[in-house]
Amino acid sequence: MTATDGRGRFITLEGGEGAGKTTLSRSLAAWLAQQGVPVLRTREPGGAPGAEAIRSVLLEQGPWDPIAEAMLHFAARREHLVRTITPALEAGIWVVCDRFADSTWAYQGGGQGLPRDAWDRLAGLALDGVAPDLTLVLDLPPDRGMERALGRGDANRYERQGSDFHTRVRDAFLAIAAAEPGRCAVLDAAAAPGAVLDAARRAVSDRLSAP
């Protein structure tokens, strides 16, 4: 891997609750920075002022109709993309983003029954063709993930869902990875944090070597 020339690279981290995305985001960004790559860490829902405002509505209020909920996620994402992600990529900065559009398909589609056609239309409008260069899917049996997530204290609206919901979310992430193997790499999130970072570094080196 070489330091970036021209446009940055867009890396997203996806997975269910307690999969270790935040830990990996920190360690992966630190490793990229050590290679001399300019890097920005961000997360969804949020990552821009308007998107952070929508985040608190999404995590603390509801229930929502699934389409309305997906629209709120995509509204936040659009702000995030336009104000934070795209300017960074254009400035040659690599973006490491904790959750992106695949989370809306996994949670609102897999978890809550949002029709695929609704996701496609919202994604078409909000993303305008932008897609991650690489998506790392952190895979973990839902019971283990929930044990970790609930151990952290206050559960949000999504974490309070039952294990059937979290199983559907996991299956949806794995289906995305199977459908788009060129973009997605599945990492075993039950492994130790150092091993997860090693696997992530291998995926980045193998797939994003030539800017």
- List the structure tokens of 36: 């001399």
Q: Which is nearer to ligand TYD, 4 or 25 (CB)?
A: 25
CB of 104 to ligand TYD, least distance (A): 4
Q: Which is nearer to ligand TYD, 17 or 139 (CB)?
A: 17
d(Cα 117, Cα 88) in Å, to the nearest integer? 30
CB of 72 to ligand TYD, least distance (A): 9
CB of 35 to ligand TYD, least distance (A): 26
- List the structure tokens of 130: 């932008």
Q: Which is nearer to ligand TYD, 73 or 78 (CB)?
A: 73
Q: Which is nearer to ligand TYD, 37 or 186 (CB)?
A: 186
CB of 56 to ligand TYD, least distance (A): 11
Whether 11 and 94 have beta carbons less than 8 Å apart is answered as yes
Which chain residues interact with ligand TYD by CB under 6 A? Answer: 17, 21-22, 44-45, 59, 73, 99, 103-104, 107-108, 156, 158-159
- List the structure tokens of 125: 């409008």
The one-letter amino acid code at 206 reads D
Phi and psi at 165, nearest 5°, equal: -60, -50
d(Cα 117, Cα 82) in Å, to the nearest integer? 24
Nearest to 134 by CA among 45, 87, 199: 199
